[in-house]
Amino acid sequence: MFEFIANIMRIPDLRNRILFTLAMLGVYRLGVFIPAPGVDRTALADFFANNQNSLFGMYDMFTGGALEQFSVFVLGIMPYISASIIIQLMTVVMPQVERLKNEGQSGRNKITQWTRYLTIGIAIIQSSAIAVSLEQMKTLGGTDVVIEAGWPFRLMTIITMTAGSCFIMWLGEQITDRGIGNGASLIITCGIIAALPNGVRQTVEMVRIEQINLLELVLMLGFMVAVIMGIVFVERGQRKIPIQYAKRVVGRQVYGGQATHLPMKVNVSGVIPPIFASSVLMFPATVGTFYDHPLFEAMQSAFMPGSWVYNVTYVVMIVFFAYFYTAVTFNPVDVADNLRKHGGYIPGVRPGKQTADYLDRILTRLTAGGSIYLASICILPTVLISNYGVPFYFGGTGLLIIVSVALDTVGQIEGHLLTRHYDGILGPKSSKVKGRRSKMLTL
C-alpha cells in the first residue's frame, strides 16, 4: 500500500488529479453545511428526528446530509440525474437526438448543453415544490418549520437551491475533466461515506439500549462483509468472448493474425439502475408526504420504503433501467461492424449480422443476471430496517455505490500507473487486473 501511494506521488499528473479531486469533494462537503435562510433549525431537526429510516433518510443519504441541514445543496446532484434520464430516453425514442449523438464531439456537446438546461428546469420545479412543502411542515408540537411563509421565502429558496444544484453539477464536471474518477459518482459516494459515522453512532446507541444484542450485531457485520465480497466478485466478473484477427498484407508488412478477447462485464450498467430507480420512486412518496389528500396519502403509504408496492416497483424499475442503460451504452451492431472493419471475427460466428445477434444474445443473458444481482443487493435495506431498524447507511444501495465507485476509481488510478510502468495497488500482478471507466453519467 505504501509503495502504491509512493508511486502515485512520483507521477505529477496523477498526483495533481487526485489532489484536485479531493479539493473539489472538500468544497462540496463544506457547502453541505452552508444553511439556506428562512427555516427554523430546531423545528426542522425535530421533524427529522421523527422521520428517520423513511423516505427522508434515503434522500438524505444521496444528498450527504444536506436535507437534514437544509443547506444550499439540498437538491444535490439528483436534478442532473433526472435530466440525464430524460435525455437518454430521448436518445432512444427520437431519431433526431440519436443522430446528434452520433455526430461526434460537437453533437455530444449539444446534448450536454441540453442536459444542463434541463437540469436547471428540474431544479426550479423541485425547489418550488420543496418551498411550498416546507411552509406546510410542522413538528409534533405544532411549530412551523418556516419562520415567515410567503413568496419572498419561496423565491429565495428557489434561487438558492437551483444555484446550489448547478454548482454541484459544475463540481462534478470539473472532477470528471480535471480529476480522477467520475464526478457524479464521487459526489454521491462522498455523501454516503460522510453519513456513515452517524449510522455507526445510531447502531452503537441501539446496542447500548439493547435494541440490538451483540450476537445480532456480529451477524449483521458479517453479513455486510459478505455483501461487500459479493459486490466485488460480481463487479469484477467478465465474460471473455474470443476474437481472432485475420492477417493483412500491406506492402511488405503483415498485420493482424493475433488472438484476443472482448470483455463483457456481468453488470454492464454499473450502479446507474439503482440510482435511476431511487430518484424516480422518490417523487410519488414526496408528493404524498406534504399534501393532505386521500389520494396523496395513499400514494405515500404505498411507496414508502418497506411496503410491498415499493419493493416490487423498485425491483421492476431496476431491471428495466439495467436493460435500458445497457442498450444505450453497448450497441452490438456497432461492435460487430467495427470488428468487421478491422478484420476481426468471433471463431465459429459469421461477421456482420450473425456476430451482432450473438453479442446481443450474450448481452441479454448477462444483463438478466446483473439486474437480478442489483435488485437483490438493493432490497437489503428493507430486510435490515424491518428486522433490526438498521439505518439506511448500511443498506445495500449505499454499499453497492461505495464499492462500485471505489473499484472504478482504483481502476483508473491503476491505468495511469500501468501506462507509466509502475505497479498498481495489487503489485506486479495488478497488470492482469484491468480497471474500467465508471458507467456513471458524465457531463
- What are the chain's domains? 2-432 (1.10.3370.10)
Higher pLDDT, 33 or 432: 33
Q: For all residues of the chain together, what is the average pLDDT?
A: 78
pLDDT at 200: 80
Q: Which residues contact 200 (CB under 8 A, 6 or more apart)?
A: none
Q: What angle separates helix 55-62 from helix 272-290, to the nearest 10 degrees?
A: 130
The conformational region for residue 44 under phi > 0 = left, psi -120 to 50 = alpha, else beta, is alpha
How buried is 131 (Cβ within 10 angstroms: 0-12 exposed, 13-18 middle, 19+ buried)?
buried
Q: How does residue 78 score in pLDDT terms, banded at 50, 70 and 90?
A: confident
DSSP letters for 312-338: HHHHHHHHHHHHHHHHHH--HHHHHHH
pLDDT at 183: 86
What are the tens digits of pLDDT across the range 405-443?
A: 888 888 888 887 877 765 555 555 444 444 444 444 333
What's the mean pLDDT in 211-230?
Answer: 81
End-to-end CA distance of the chain: 32
Predicted TM-score (pTM) of the model is: 0.77
Identity of residue 142: G
Q: How does residue 287 score in pLDDT terms, banded at 50, 70 and 90?
A: low
Q: Considering only 136-140, 161-165, 176-180, which range has the smallest mean pLDDT?
A: 136-140
| Grid cell at residue 41 | 433549525
Higher pLDDT, 118 or 131: 118
* CA–CA separation, 7 and 426 (whole Å): 12
**What stretch of H or E contains 345?**
strand 344-345
- CB of 282 closer than 8 Å to CB of 317: no
Q: What is the largest CA-CA distance in the chain?
A: 88
Higher pLDDT, 150 or 318: 318
pLDDT at 431: 44
* Pairing status of strand 238-245 against strand 344-345: antiparallel
| Grid cell at residue 217 | 450485531
Q: How does residue 382 score in pLDDT terms, banded at 50, 70 and 90?
A: low
Q: What is the CA radius of gyration of the chain?
A: 24
How buried is 168 (Cβ within 10 angstroms: 0-12 exposed, 13-18 middle, 19+ buried)?
buried
